[in-house]
């Protein structure tokens, strides 16, 4: 079966998502914004609770937005829409949202202060922000183990890869305070991520995610050696619940100041 990125993310993050969902605190009349919504699982979860309210999911990926729209329609959700928008610069309605959420969708901004300031403007005074972001790379075995086998995936040795850009609470607190947020808090989430039910399924997922064009070019004996080491790594992480890697994330909560 062809690799499905949306299904992979939802399955990969299932255990972390239980914590995130519990932290969202959606109320029935809330207007919710989901930033970097991808295939829209968090937006749909919010829409099922905000039955008198509404949910907007934004993303820059047409491919993911298409999946999000299809799945929401199939589930008969009439109070959620998905829009192509760059959250850094999009002209959202001012002071509109009661709750702004993001599951791993806010770490990739080129200018995080400008992006979070833009998001803050879209929120009503005292509206809540609930984010899930990775802690530092060193605390995420899925990243360090993959890098050990596949090499650096972003080609910038020594620099923090974007996925971990909000992993330092001091840095993130500085950005959010300057962007107009208060009561900033970090909750530690320590759960494994799921790569597949079998070594074969996990191998296929890693190949699609990390080896299809984005990683460093390797050919011949070096390529074979890398694939052999990858398979050995996945075998070492096979458990009764599938191939699991340790991970650590923050749930960041804050309120729009004012």
Ligand X SMILES: C[S@@+](CC[C@H](N)C(=O)[O-])C[C@H]1O[C@@H](n2cnc3c(N)ncnc32)[C@H](O)[C@@H]1O
Kindly list the residues in this chain that would bind ligand X in the complex (CB under 6 A): 9, 35-39, 41-42, 58-61, 64, 86-88, 103-105, 108-109
| Shortest spacing between CB 156 and ligand X, in angstroms | 18
Q: Which is nearer to ligand X, 54 or 102 (CB)?
A: 102
Q: In Å, what is the CA distance from 154 to each residue of 42, 78, 126, 158, 215?
A: 27, 39, 37, 10, 8
Pairing of strands 123-134, 97-103: parallel
Pick from 199, 204, 171: nearest CA to 186: 171
Tally Cβ neighbours within 10 Å of residue 113. Answer: 13
| Shortest spacing between CB 22 and ligand X, in angstroms | 15
| Shortest spacing between CB 210 and ligand X, in angstroms | 14
Handedness of CA 184, 105, 150, 200 (dihedral sign): positive
| Shortest spacing between CB 20 and ligand X, in angstroms | 9
Pairing of strands 54-59, 31-35: parallel
Pairing of strands 31-35, 238-239: unpaired
Distance, first Cα to last Cα, the chain: 51
Alpha-carbon span 163 to 168, nearest angstrom: 12
What kind and span of H or E run contains 150? helix 141-150
| Shortest spacing between CB 78 and ligand X, in angstroms | 21
| Shortest spacing between CB 220 and ligand X, in angstroms | 32
**Which tokens is 89 given?**
């610069």
Q: Which is nearer to ligand X, 12 or 199 (CB)?
A: 12
Q: Which is nearer to ligand X, 115 or 199 (CB)?
A: 115
Q: Which is nearer to ligand X, 34 or 98 (CB)?
A: 34
Angle between helices 41-49 and 62-74 (to 10 degrees): 40
Q: Which is nearer to ligand X, 92 or 104 (CB)?
A: 104
Q: Which is nearer to ligand X, 58 or 146 (CB)?
A: 58
| Shortest spacing between CB 221 and ligand X, in angstroms | 33
Tally Cβ neighbours within 10 Å of residue 21. Answer: 19
Q: Which is nearer to ligand X, 20 or 181 (CB)?
A: 20
């Amino acid at each position: 079966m062809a690799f499905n990125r949306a299904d992979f993310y939802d399955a990969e993050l299932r255990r972390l998502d239980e914590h995130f969902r519990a932290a969202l605190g959606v109320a029935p009349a809330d207007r919710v914004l989901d930033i970097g919504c991808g295939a829209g699982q968090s937006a749909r979860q919010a829409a099922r609770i905000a039955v008198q309210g509404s949910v907007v999911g934004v993303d820059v990926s047409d491919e993911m937005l298409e999946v999000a729209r299809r799945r929401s329609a199939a589930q008969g959700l009439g109070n959620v829409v998905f829009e192509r928008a760059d959250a850094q610069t999009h002209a959202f309605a001012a002071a509109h949202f009661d709750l702004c959420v993001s599951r791993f969708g806010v770490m990739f901004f080129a200018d995080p202060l400008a992006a979070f300031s833009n998001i803050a403007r879209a929120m009503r005074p005292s509206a809540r922000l609930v984010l899930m972001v990775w802690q530092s790379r060193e605390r995420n075995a899925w990243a360090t183990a993959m890098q050990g086998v596949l090499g650096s995936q972003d080609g910038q040795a020594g620099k923090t890869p974007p996925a971990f850009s909000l992993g330092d609470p001091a840095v993130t607190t500085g950005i959010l305070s300057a962007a107009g947020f208060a009561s900033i808090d970090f909750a530690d989430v320590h759960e494994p991520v799921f790569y597949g039910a079998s070594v074969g399924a996990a191998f296929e997922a890693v190949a699609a995610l990390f080896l299809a064009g984005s990683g460093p070019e390797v050919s011949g004996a070096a390529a074979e050696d890398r694939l052999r080491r990858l398979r050995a790594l996945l075998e070492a992480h096979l458990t009764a619940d599938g191939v699991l890697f340790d991970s650590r994330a923050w749930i960041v909560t804050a309120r729009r100041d004012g």
